[in-house]
Amino acid sequence: MALEIERKFLVKNDSWRSDVVAESRLQQGYLANQKNVSVRIRTGNGKAHLNIKSTTIGIRRLEYEYEIPMADASEMLREIALQPFIDKTRYIVRHGGRDWELDVFAGENQGLIVAELELGSEDEPFELPDWAGEEVSGEIKYYNVNLIKHPFSQW
């Protein structure tokens, strides 16, 4: 079983930029968003992935991810994905011996920056960076699948 345990925080300032170790531009679209599951396509860095994720609220959920051909992903995004796409730049930021993923959103979600940290267990300790603000792990409005229907620019 593939299990994702992830904490999400809003980002309150730009001090994280000095600790960036990698970045990539991502586009993702959702093929399905149902009560119990979301199915998405994501492209970035010349690769494409199909992702299936349970919609459990909180920091723990099932997640399965498979690499797929880029041509197939492009066609699915163009022809069958819900619109608009999620467009963002993901920065990998090293802090406290861990790699944080910071998503800087563009398009309809411009202005939103969310930091995510994957953990091995729900109670695993970690050092919270100074740039991390309010925790939004359980707030569904910050889930990417919801940002398509209710973009940050409309809040």
Number of Cβ within 10 Å of residue 42's Cβ equals 21
What does the block give as tokens for 39? Answer: 């199915």
Query: How many C-beta atoms surround the C-beta of residue 41 within 10 A?
Result: 23
Respond yes or no: is residue 142 known to be catalytic. no
**In sequence order, which residues have a C-beta less than 8 Å from that of residue 74 and are 6 or more positions away?**
43, 48
Question: Alpha-carbon distance 87 to 104, whole Å?
Answer: 9
CA–CA distance, 45 with 25 (Å, rounded to integer): 7
- C-alpha–C-alpha distance, residues 151 and 108, integer Å: 6
Q: Which residues are catalytic?
A: 30
